Chains A and B, each alone.
Chain A
Amino acid sequence: MKPDEKIHETLAFVQEALQKKENEDLRSWPWGAIYWGAFFLISFAMIDWDRALGLRVFNYGALAGAFLSAGLAIATDIQRRRRGETTPHHEAIVGKIVLGILASFAALIVMGMSGRFEFIPYFQILMLLIGLELYVFGILHRFTPLSVCGLLLLVWAVALAWVNAFQLTVGGCIIAAGMLAVAIAHRKAVTSSR
């Protein structure tokens, strides 16, 4: 076989294998787009119909979306791991956290516009969210400094609750405790399976 024919054959093989790998990755992408599409459509329609109710739907929808995107990222990560692939730390963590922060800031802006801007409780919820994401990804990727950072953020956000807006953060803490329990259970399952 001539050298150029051999190169051509090798490249064709590489391309085919890459295609096979990428096709499986693409299967999970539409859920995020469907959620955010429906979220904007419904909340804007509701703002038009009843401004106060619509703004509330937008705020909580953005927060729920941030949590869901983190959940989806974790689910994708677990699915890939089962398939025999692991994602680089920076891609999984930075991508999803940036998305979470953007969604949260969008909600902050709308809260500001609606005149119901309460920075401290919202900031606490945001910190809880980031702390949780860092912690869960740290555990999934067995990257201890990240888990520690996440835990510190969580403790800080929870500690703030004793000083300010106790009731508003209680809900966040319950969610945090639930997700921590899931993360610990996952960690135990991973450890015991080794």
Chain B
Amino acid sequence: MSREDSEKQPIDEGVLAQLDPLLEHKYRLSACVMLVDTESISFSRFKELFNATNGNLGAQLRKLEDAQYLKVRKEFVGRQPTTWYSLTEKGRNALRRHLTVMQSLIDTASD
């Protein structure tokens, strides 16, 4: 082990436990972050931005929907059904808390 490695602060398990498990996945975190300054984003737009498959993305977004972090609205554009996602107040608060914990972890790691 190099000297630099040995000087790094160990990550506090207590702080890690404060992370929201629902926002640990990259698709779920990205979806919430993007919805902070955008009123709503469609499923196909998320798919394009994340380069994800229908099944995986659908399952990840469903978890956020079940936890009421995301609100879902369905409409038809032409004959195509479109699903729109927007961030709820609960989701916004959870994201804020999660990012605060992440920031403290990053600060600890860079000390």
Contact = CB atoms under 8 A, between A and B. Distances in A.
Interface string A67-101: 00000000000000001111111010000000000
A43 B52 CA distance: 51
Nearest to B77: A193
B30 A87 contact: no
Given A3-B16, A20-B49, A14 B30 contact: yes
Nearest to B32: A14
A115 B21 CA distance: 67
Interface string A6-19: 11011101100110
Contacts of B43: 84
Contacts of B102: 7, 11
A17 B39 contact: no
A14 B46 CA distance: 12
B24 A10 contact: yes
A14 B41 contact: no
A84 B82 CA distance: 9
Interface in A34-90: 83-89
A194 interface: yes
Contacts of B38: 85-88
Given A10-B24, A193-B76, A83 B30 contact: no
A13 B30 contact: yes
Contact of B105 (A4, A17, A86): A4
A21 interface: yes
Given A20-B49, A193-B77, A84 B44 contact: yes
A17 B40 contact: no
Contacts of A89: 39
A20 B46 CA distance: 11
Contacts of B106: 7
A7 B75 contact: no
Nearest to B105: A7
Interface string A175-194: 00000000000000000011
Contacts of A83: 45
Interface string B23-45: 01110011001100111111111
Contacts of A194: 75-77
A21 B34 contact: yes
A84 B30 contact: no
Contact of A84 (B24, B37, B41): B41
B49 A21 contact: yes
Given A86-B38, A86-B39, A17 B45 contact: no
Interface of B: 11, 16, 24-26, 29-30, 33-34, 37-46, 48-50, 75-78, 82, 84, 102, 105-106, 109
Given A85-B41, A86-B38, 7 more contacts: A9-B26, A10-B24, A10-B29, A21-B34, A84-B45, A88-B38, A193-B76
